[in-house]
């Protein structure tokens, strides 16, 4: 069972993509400082999410940043708008929304 950062967020502390562990960190004021609700850091293998987001937006942001990580790890060279389309399609499946 996944270990969560805090129960109220329903965001795991880490995920694994292709055997690589990626830590997930709730970073205060990320949206204000970086004008972004989330960020993937490929050098540190960390995903940062602004905890001020509502729970649904946190999950959408996590899906987006996981796709960013996959894009990096598999050297897919996806353009950002395609990552956004994949995010919407995957989140639209419903099982990620619960």
CA-CA-CA-CA torsion for 66, 69, 70, 71, nearest 10 degrees? 120
Query: For residue 76, is it within any domain?
Result: yes
Q: Is residue 2 part of a domain?
A: no
Total number of domains in the chain: 1
Report yes or no on 96 lying in a domain.
no
Q: What is the pLDDT of residues 86-97, one digit of tens each?
A: 999 988 887 665
Is residue 80 pLDDT above 90, yes or no? Answer: yes
Which residue segment(s) compose the domain that 55 sits in?
A: 14-91
pTM listed for this prediction: 0.86
Cα separation values, 57 from 19, 75, 97, Å: 26, 26, 10
pLDDT in tens, 42-58: 999 999 999 999 988 99
Reply yes or no on whether the pLDDT at 10 is more than 80: no
């Amino acid at each position: 069972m996944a270990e969560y950062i805090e129960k109220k967020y329903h965001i795991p502390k880490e995920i694994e993509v292709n055997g690589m562990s990626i830590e997930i960190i709730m970073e205060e004021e990320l949206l204000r400082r970086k004008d972004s609700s989330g960020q993937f850091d490929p050098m540190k293998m960390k995903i940062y999410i602004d905890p001020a987001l509502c729970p649904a937006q946190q999950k959408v942001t996590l899906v987006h940043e996981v796709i960013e990580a996959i894009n990096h790890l598999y050297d897919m060279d996806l353009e950002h708008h395609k990552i956004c389309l994949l995010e919407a399609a995957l989140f639209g499946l419903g099982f990620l929304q619960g």
